[in-house]
Amino acid sequence: MTGERKVSPTAMVLPLALAQFTASYAASNMNVAISTIADDIGTTVVGMQTTITLFTLTMASLMIPGSKVTDMWGRKRCFVIGLFVYGIGALLASFSTGIGLMIFGYSVLEGVGSALLIPPIYILITVLFSDTRSRAKYFGIVSGAAGLGAASGPLIGGLITSGISWRASFGLQVAVVAVIIYLTWRHIYPEPSERTQGFDVGGAVLNVLGLFFVVLGILLSGTYGWVVSRKDFTIGDTVVLPSGGVSPVVISVIIGALFLAWFFLHCRSREQHGREPLVALRLFRNKTSNLGLGTQNIQWLTMQGTFFVLSVYLQQVNGYNAIQTGLALTPAIVGILLASAAAERMASRRDQRTLIRGGFVVDAAGMAILVIFGRSASSWALAPGLLLIGAGVGIMLTASVNVVQSAFPEADQSDISGVSRSVSNLGSSIGTALAGSIVVAGTTPKGHPFAAALIVLLVIALIGLVLAILLPPQPKPRPQPKTTADPAPQTATG
């Protein structure tokens, strides 16, 4: 006979944070194992880079449809299904002997699984905790897990690949997913009062195509350049766009923009005819949310772009291996952890606007230090700048997510969660591609292209600060009962 026991809010958030860490880890750890995996499964470095690109494309383009599915299947069910799909993909990837199974397991299944499991994480945090301080605490845990996964991926991946095998890295993901499913299965999570019965298939297709081509164009920029193509763009043996002509990036982004414009017209048409669109257009009329989404995009852009620039610099200029590179980036991990741990305390003393602004100031200061002292051969010279960058990201990631999610009632949480995650993934893609294109195009003496990339990222961080300054004041929260700010304890079967 089973009994009931109280489950603390932290225990309910733990599997959500672990899932976010795993998904973020999967997006960054592969970079240090590209050559090893390519040799083992009989492909090329380009083939593995394509595999990683397809993972990013799949996850980013399906995030909004994935969030909508949470209202159809239920939040917990969608989260668990996403974990199952992700785990199966990781398992298949671990047994890959060729590029085909690697693409199917890692790029497709892990990408689809991520798109299903990530939106419910942010929806559940929002509906579980009603006041700013509690949301800040638990968004701090989840956002810290996201930043930590992205920042520590190269280090953990490098250690596992060098010490055991790249297959063990996928095996570890399978084991962690199994633990998360077990932890999730025991908890009761709040579900929407009314579940969506229909699904906007046409809107989903247009959204996927639009984001696919936009992200594809951004990712192609590292190879072909942003405007003028550095090399011939071929399909098979046919040169479609010659070197020196218009870059395929321009064509791809324009195609994506046209599909997205069609998508918005489609959503407006459905609303006018009384049918539910994939995304309610009223979400984009909220000034607070729009500015918050802008800060989210820039936060991920600058973080991933900086990590990419430093990773390439340390390996190409300083001659570091994967483990040394990961260790050199450790101060950023420390900064993210410290800031995320203090999220609740900071939220109780400062409003979210102030935290986002402060985060950008700290982040920009860290980048400026890297630009000034980063050319030193010692990784110790990078530590102060990386520590500040990590702290700045940790401060503002939590606050930005809180601002965006809290701008809407529970009925809109699935929609805004998908939009928020898509915007963040788009920022990650742009950051890596933009930094990579500057480094590749650099013709100045050794080390200067890396400084140029950091300066561009610093300017973008300052643009993020401007957006944060423009954020309107948040309404004063209603007084909370003095008993507790957390939701009533849930029960689980033992």
Q: What is the pLDDT of residue 124?
A: 87
Q: What is the pLDDT of residue 116?
A: 92
CA-CA distance, 391 to 333, in Å (whole number)? 9
Looking at domain 7-191+278-472, its CATH class is mainly alpha
- The average pLDDT across 412-424 equals 81
pLDDT, greater one: 436 or 168: 168
| Burial class (CB within 10 angstroms; exposed 0-12, middle 13-18, buried 19+) of 108 | middle
pLDDT, greater one: 163 or 172: 172
Alpha-helix residue ranges (DSSP H) falling in 74-165: 75-94, 99-102, 111-128, 132-163
Q: Do 218 and 430 form a contact (C-beta atoms < 8 A)? A: yes
Q: What is the pLDDT of residue 362?
A: 94
- pLDDT range class, residue 442, cuts 50, 70, 90: low
> Is the pLDDT confidence value at 197 over 70?
no
Tell me which residue has tokens 């909004």: 64
* Euclidean distance between the first and the last CA atom of the chain, given in angstroms as a whole number: 9
Chain centroid to CA 179: 22
65-78 residue pLDDT tens: 888 888 788 888 89
Q: Which of 119-133, 432-446, 457-471, 479-493 has the highest mean pLDDT?
A: 457-471
312-324 residue pLDDT tens: 777 777 777 767 7
CA-CA distance, 211 to 484, in Å (whole number)? 42
Tokens standing for residue 153: 């991926």
Share of the chain above pLDDT 90, in %: 23
- pLDDT range class, residue 374, cuts 50, 70, 90: low
445-488 residue pLDDT tens: 454 777 888 888 999 999 999 999 999 886 554 444 443 444 44
The domains of the chain are located at: 7-191+278-472, 201-277
Angle, helices 9-28/166-185, rounded to nearest 10 degrees: 160
204-238 residue pLDDT tens: 899 889 988 988 888 787 778 888 888 888 877 78
Nearest to 312 by CA among 444, 158, 432, 224: 432
Among 12-21, 93-102, 341-350, name the one with the lowest average pLDDT.
341-350
- The average pLDDT across 379-386 equals 82
Q: What is the pLDDT of residue 170?
A: 92
Tell me which residue has tokens 């702290």: 391
Would the pTM count as exceeding 0.95?
Answer: no
Helices (H) and strands (E) in the chain, counts: 18, 4
